[in-house]
Amino acid sequence: MIWQFDVVILTLVVISAIGAVTVKDLLGAVILFGAYSFMMCLLWAIMGAVDVAFTEASVGAGVSTVLFVAAVFRTTRRTRD
């Protein structure tokens, strides 16, 4: 495990997580959440849990992003809070 990678990815995880909850545009929040999942996937892969990383990439970054986009498409894109 290379600690520089760890620091970069963990910073990106925190940034995208904070971005996903604070951003006003819900579609942007979905994309940020997808980026968060993908960074988590990289973290799992770095720690040697390849199966978990695979699941995270397919479920977290892939299908759940699509489901969120579908939900945003059928509700509203702007949030009031």
Site residues, another protein (CB under 8 A): 47, 50-51, 53-55, 58-59, 62-63, 66-67, 69-71, 73-74
**CB 12, min distance to another protein, A:** 19
Distance CA 21, CA 77 (A): 14
Residue 22: CB minimum distance to another protein, A: 12
What six digits make up the tokens of 71? Answer: 């939900």
Spatial separation of the C-alpha atoms in residues 54 and 4, rounded to whole Å: 23
Q: How far apart are the first and last CA of the chain?
A: 40
C-beta of 57: minimal distance to another protein in Å? 8
Nearer to another protein, 5 or 54 (CB): 54
Q: Which is nearer to another protein, 8 or 70 (CB)?
A: 70
CA distance 62 to 2: 27
